[in-house]
């Protein structure tokens, strides 16, 4: 199956097994939401998909477009078309936003066997992406995430997403800490880059973003396992009732 496929994934961090058999598929063109209480393993899953070295896959498989990627390094995953916006983005002092974006973009193009983008084309694409994400022009000369406010960092991530057009994008709490206008900008940005050739996995605690970016599928992670799946109606149920009823269902089963 094209897209992202996760089979029976078990992941350990330190001494602890955090994911205990996760199955999840995200096909191009689909929008999936991953929800679940604090500490259930959502960021761990995202990090394991990206190949973060702190997380060890002890069992199971991850594949992208039918290519097994469980063991390959993060750079190569990114060039293969995986993109992740982090819950806590890091600052890169000394590297300007435009230089960073152009370097990453060219690494991706190289990965696809394409030529480096010309400066002229890059400027044009970057400008339209910046307009789309409502990122102020002067940001391009600043150092990446250095002194950016929380909301500005999130917009930067959507800007990257708009430029990279990955195969699968994972957004880990891209909506956290955003005021209502910034949330709308970010969510509209996500909607305008989403399309038939990109799959999206949105990790969030809130229905706000999911009312603008409508998910096709919703998964609930609890103690390292997906315990409930459904359509967008599940988001409203969770918002209204919390997670207690799901754990009650589990206990009764
Ligand atoms: N590097 C690590 N070493 C040890 N334990 C870790 C490590 N990273 C995460 N954990 C633990 O794994 C569990 C799941 O954490 P994770 O960050 O995946 O949760 P989450 O679902 O993203 O939570 P939140 O909603 O708060 O973001 C937590 O108990 C956390 O303390
Ligand atoms: Mg998290």
Task: Kindly report, residue by residue over 79-93, the tens digit of the pLDDT.
Answer: 888 998 866 667 778
The 10s digit of each residue's pLDDT in 64-121 is 999 999 999 888 898 888 998 866 667 778 888 888 889 888 988 887 789 999 999 9
Mean pLDDT of the chain: 91
| Range among 56-60, 130-134, 246-250 rated most confident | 56-60
Residue 201 backbone dihedrals phi, psi, to 5 degrees = -120, 110
Tell me which of 35, 43, 49 to substitute to probe ligand 1's pocket, judged by most ligand atoms within 8 Å of the beta carbon: 43
Specify the CATH number of the domain 4-252.
3.40.50.300
The beta strands (E) that lie in 50-198 are given as 56-64, 67-68, 82-85, 92-96, 143-144, 168-172
| Range among 19-23, 101-105, 177-181, 248-252 rated most confident | 19-23
| pLDDT at 88 (0 to 100) | 66
Report the nearest atom of ligand 1 relative to the CA of 173: 27
Residue 251 has pLDDT above 80, yes or no: yes
CA of 18 to the centre of ligand 1 (A): 8
SS3 63: strand
Task: Quickly list H helices, 42-94.
Answer: 42-50, 74-80
Residue 164 has pLDDT above 80, yes or no: yes
Give, in order, the Cα–Cα distances in Å from 193 to each of 5, 45, 164, 189.
Answer: 21, 23, 10, 6
146, 188, 52, 8 alpha-carbon torsion, rounded to 10°: 170
Return left, alpha or beta for 109; rule: phi > 0 is left, psi -120 to 50 is alpha, else beta: alpha
CA of 42 to the centre of ligand 1 (A): 8
Taking Cα atoms as reference points, which of 227, 229, 210, 233 lies closest to residue 219? Answer: 229
Q: Say which ligand is closest to the CA of 172.
A: 2
| pLDDT at 8 (0 to 100) | 98
CA of 44 to the centre of ligand 2 (A): 7
- End-to-end CA distance of the chain: give it in Å, rounded: 31
Question: Which residue has a Cα nearest atom 13 of ligand 1?
Answer: 39
Domain ranges of the chain: 4-252
Q: Which residues contact 124 (CB under 8 A, 6 or more apart)?
A: none
What's the predicted TM-score (pTM) here?
Answer: 0.92
| pLDDT at 120 (0 to 100) | 94
Residues at CB less than 6 angstroms from ligand 1: 13-14, 16, 18, 36, 38-44, 54
DSSP state of 145: T
Residue pair 77/64 in contact (Cβ under 8 Å)? The answer is yes
């Amino acid at each position: 199956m094209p897209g992202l496929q996760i089979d029976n994934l078990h992941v350990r961090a330190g001494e602890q097994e955090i994911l205990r058999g996760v199955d999840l598929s995200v096909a191009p063109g689909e929008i999936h939401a991953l929800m679940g209480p604090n500490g259930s393993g959502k960021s761990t899953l995202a990090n394991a998909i990206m190949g973060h070295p702190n997380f060890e896959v002890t069992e199971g498989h991850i594949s992208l477009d039918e290519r097994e990627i469980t063991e390959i390094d993060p750079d190569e995953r990114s060039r293969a078309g995986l993109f992740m916006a982090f819950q806590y983005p890091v600052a890169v002092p000394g590297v300007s936003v435009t230089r960073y974006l152009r370097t990453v973009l060219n690494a991706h193009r190289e990965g696809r066997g394409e030529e480096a983008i010309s400066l002229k084309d890059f400027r044009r694409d970057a400008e339209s992406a910046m307009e789309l994400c409502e990122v102020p022009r002067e940001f391009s000369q600043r150092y990446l995430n250095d002194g950016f406010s929380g909301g500005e960092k999130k917009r930067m991530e959507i800007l990257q997403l708009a430029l990279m057009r990955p195969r699968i994008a994972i957004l880990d709490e891209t909506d956290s800490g955003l005021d209502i206008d910034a949330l709308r900008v970010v969510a509209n940005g996500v909607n305008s880059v989403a399309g038939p050739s990109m799959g999206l996995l949105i990790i969030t605690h809130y229905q706000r973003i999911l009312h603008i970016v409508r998910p096709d599928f919703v998964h609930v992670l609890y103690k390292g396992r997906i315990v409930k799946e459904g359509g967008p109606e599940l988001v409203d149920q969770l918002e209204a009732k919390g997670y207690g009823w799901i754990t009650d269902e589990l206990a009764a089963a």
